[in-house]
Structure 1
């Protein structure tokens, strides 16, 4: 029995609305389930680094901070808008996967290579926290697609795509230096495939390389003039020894991060094939699962694009060059779904239409389930009194700034230091563009934040103390603040504010405490 392809499933104009709807659903579900941005304050840190935009930070290259700064130049500064940025980044990456599939000449399978990734963890729940790892979700697929466009096109079109390849490759490096592993992986398909080798004999790769170098130069100059601080942070990630539990986690990441999409595709395909052939379903499923990852040959461009980031990273971990972090695996699977689809199409072509129809029929019920789970998770967090859910970050930021303004009527707060990066909540929720400083003035990382001469500017040191019901001992932030204030001859007594969240979303109010230290501008002489 032959299944005709449902045009609704594969017609190009319909795929983009599907992608947009899924990303919106995940943004809303993520916002509902989490009453704050993230427990590690990565997203507040991003915002702090975006005020003002600069060519580097004390930890990472700056591209993802630029993305945050540009986004909030247009959108309001609130949690929902930030979640929308997270999933707009996902949408941009999925469009890149779609384009990569077209460059690989996968035809009707190309949009499904993007759609299936929305049933994997990196593109759904993990993408809700926008940081250096998730930024790569949008950049790596476009870099791979532009690589193919550069070697497939000729003349001015080839030069145009080559220039864009250089720019996007630079954006990858300016997001996270780990992208060097991804870009190095391009060498394998280029050298093994005949088209790639012929491409090397043209000016196009060298145009891309020149654009890449020019785009990176300002950042390299900034890093060199600031004691190579981001490179020092990156080098600290290597322990010089093999940590086997980290290696094992990263080695298995392709399975547990992409397992839902992989199982859904292979099992749906096997169900249709078994019905077509009259063969046992379990045997067909095991065959497709086992062979869905295999290369077509040594010059299989898709296989190498899909697998090289994982393989090279694992090799560095086994060599003891770095201690592997599982979140590094978030961007590596951009081409996995395309690889599975290509292989299943070759193994059981007659089952393609029916399998994709089955997956298409599940699309809208799955999105409804996502929204319901967002509501359910928020309800669970609210009723069990989850501390991350009840932490009153937005309310505290506004209360702290309001109290400061009452103490200093008619004056403007110029900077906030203290506990990094939670102290960035003042800038994000209460006073846009407020300069946020790691720790206290005078340190090397504070100098990298472009604070300048702090003595003539009003400042505040902020140290969160946690839930009032569970008092904490004096924190490193408090000790550092008091030691620094004493050394400057300034008052060391903290003002402690208590804030709690209210309203229907917070049925079990919890008070949280925040210690603040005023650093008043020295009077002009």
Structure 2
């Protein structure tokens, strides 16, 4: 604790977090011409139902998305802003957590190195989903837990329980992070066991009370999130399983490569200082990161599922902290902070230039790529329905993720159906929608894909007719599209099936 809160490094930390998030929001708002094809529109479709669960994840980040768009117009730029606000909160709470053990110079280094992880920028920095939504709650959990262990007050353990509940209501993977954080604190800080036990009970009871409604919902619906996890990440064999683990680890190194290079290069010819007798801060960040990666792989092995590198995005929130812990004590932290700070600013400048060049290339395409069509499809399908019936759409079905795309982009914001199969009173994969409500609702199905040259001409329309009966009208949307990979123009076709309002099934 060798720097006061108003030190230059403290101010630089705050300014860098704000600059980083604003620059990336500006980049995405100005140069990205489409949302992610599935995850982000899913969030909105789930959140607008305000239920205690979904077919894939716990509900909190869907609620946050829906609440956000009660305040802001539904659109791409506001969505990018949500992710940057989410990231700014996470980095701020992480800085406060690190300050419990490190100087502001070290905190600045750790924050900048963390942001150099590519998943916060060019890879998926625009994407607000279960992984990125988890970040502020995990950082807040560590911050409040360190406060609690230092002061021994129950209110900080209660706050840790609130953050833990929010994390669990975002993604079950939070349990792995809690275990890693707890083990790391136990091994590096060695707190009194009595206080740790008491605090664990307080935090656990708080979290359990807040998560109980979701547990009840999941029991009633057969734990759909767990079924999805096994269906989506099933290991096909020993060879495929080993390959999946290797690919996940290589992916983590890829995410971290820029940060690792920046850190290693900054240590070259770095001035040294006389070593004092003060004890070195415990390597908590390194322990959390190492144990998180190990437990993630072990958990995947125990569950018999294939890991993917994106699962480790929340764990990589501790990458910069781990690199600070690995920095030899003989190096001057002040010099390192100034070097890394300059690297961070240069990185932001380079990304602005690269984004401008990328956007210039995109604008030379003779037509939109197929994957950039979602908003046009939603608006055109809605126009067809309004022209035919002069009423809003209530339910949207079709080829995934087109129903959720209509939920987000259509001015009617219809309820999006994941699939067509009926299972008792609920639609399979859409447990919040009562199948009987569909019998009287205004319905539309949009069939097609967002992949160049690929159609869904038979299966989707047939499934829609089986579920809803013969459509009243069928229309077709045809777009000229461009494939950047093959540099070819083509036509992308979508079938739009419409049913009269209030037509019984």
> TM-score interval w.r.t. the shorter chain?
0.7 to 0.9
SS in 1 for 2:107: helix
Counterpart position of 1:481: 464
SS in 2 for 1:108: helix
Counterpart position of 2:277: none
Counterpart position of 1:366: 347
Counterpart position of 1:265: 263
Which deviations, in whole Å up to 9, do the C-alpha atoms of 1:88-111 show, x marking residues without a partner? 221111112201211224443123
Counterpart position of 2:448: 464
Q: 1:134 Cα shift? A: 1.8
Where in structure 2 are the equivalents of 1:283-298 lying within 5 Å? none
Q: 1:185 Cα shift? A: 1.7
Counterpart position of 1:136: 134
Query: Per the alignment, do residues 246 and 433 of structure 1 end up closer, same or farther by CA in structure 2, a change over 3 Å counting?
Result: same
Which deviations, in whole Å up to 9, do the C-alpha atoms of 1:63-116 show, x marking residues without a partner? 111121111111111111111112222111111220121122444312332222
Which deviations, in whole Å up to 9, do the C-alpha atoms of 1:484-508 show, x marking residues without a partner? 34xx3x2376311234699xxxxx9
**C-alpha contact 1:35 1:389 (8 A) present in aligned 2:** no
SS in 2 for 1:28: helix
Query: Per the alignment, do residues 200 and 224 of structure 1 end up closer, same or farther by CA in structure 2, a change over 3 Å counting?
Result: same
**Distance in 1 between the 2:437 and 2:19 partners?**
48
**Distance in 2 between the 1:476 and 1:8 partners?**
63
**C-alpha contact 2:86 2:136 (8 A) present in aligned 1:** yes
Q: 1:22 aligns with which of 20, 23, 42?
A: 20
Greater displacement, 312-321 / 372-381: 312-321
Q: 1:310 Cα shift? A: 0.4
Q: 1:34 Cα shift? A: 2.8
Where in structure 2 are the equivalents of 1:102-121 lying within 5 Å? 102-121=99-118
**Distance in 1 between the 2:347 and 2:370 partners?**
25
**Distance in 2 between the 1:172 and 1:379 partners?**
39
Counterpart position of 2:196: 200
Which deviations, in whole Å up to 9, do the C-alpha atoms of 1:29-65 show, x marking residues without a partner? 23444311113x1111111101121110011111111
Counterpart position of 1:422: 402
Counterpart position of 1:210: 205
SS in 2 for 1:450: strand
Counterpart position of 2:83: 86
Moved over 6 A (4+): none
**Distance in 2 between the 1:323 and 1:466 partners?**
26
SS in 1 for 2:50: coil
**Distance in 2 between the 1:383 and 1:240 partners?**
42
Query: Per the alignment, do residues 177 and 151 of structure 1 end up closer, same or farther by CA in structure 2, a change over 3 Å counting?
Result: same
TM-score by length of 1: 0.83
Counterpart position of 2:383: 402
Q: 1:431 aligns with which of 411, 428, 448?
A: 411
Q: Does 1:307 align with 2:290?
A: yes
RMSD of Structure 2 on Structure 1 (CA): 3.1
Q: 1:142 Cα shift? A: 1.8
SS in 2 for 1:438: coil
Q: Does 1:229 align with 2:213?
A: no
SS in 1 for 2:376: helix
Q: 1:209 Cα shift? A: 0.7
**C-alpha contact 2:118 2:256 (8 A) present in aligned 1:** yes
Query: Per the alignment, do residues 317 and 441 of structure 1 end up closer, same or farther by CA in structure 2, a change over 3 Å counting?
Result: closer
Instruction: Return 5+ residue gaps in structure 2 as ranges.
Output: 275-279, 483-487
**Distance in 2 between the 1:501 and 1:255 partners?**
35
**C-alpha contact 2:138 2:167 (8 A) present in aligned 1:** yes
**Distance in 1 between the 2:199 and 2:45 partners?**
38
Query: Per the alignment, do residues 142 and 521 of structure 1 end up closer, same or farther by CA in structure 2, a change over 3 Å counting?
Result: same
Q: Does 1:334 align with 2:317?
A: yes
Q: 1:256 aligns with which of 254, 257, 266?
A: 254
Q: 1:408 Cα shift? A: 0.6
Which deviations, in whole Å up to 9, do the C-alpha atoms of 1:3-31 show, x marking residues without a partner? xx9x9993423432321121121122234
**C-alpha contact 2:262 2:343 (8 A) present in aligned 1:** no
Instruction: Return 5+ residue gaps in structure 1 as ranges.
Output: 278-295, 503-507
Where in structure 2 are the equivalents of 1:315-326 lying within 5 Å? 315-319=298-302, 321-326=304-309
**Distance in 1 between the 2:256 and 2:229 partners?**
27
**Distance in 1 between the 2:414 and 2:157 partners?**
39
Q: 1:194 Cα shift? A: 2.6
Q: 1:481 Cα shift? A: 1.7
Counterpart position of 1:246: 244
Greater displacement, 304-313 / 238-247: 238-247
Which deviations, in whole Å up to 9, do the C-alpha atoms of 1:291-332 show, x marking residues without a partner? xxxxx89x7533322221101112234556321112112111
**C-alpha contact 2:395 2:414 (8 A) present in aligned 1:** yes
Counterpart position of 2:154: 159
SS in 2 for 1:383: coil
Query: Per the alignment, do residues 196 and 418 of structure 1 end up closer, same or farther by CA in structure 2, a change over 3 Å counting?
Result: farther
Q: 1:254 Cα shift? A: 4.0
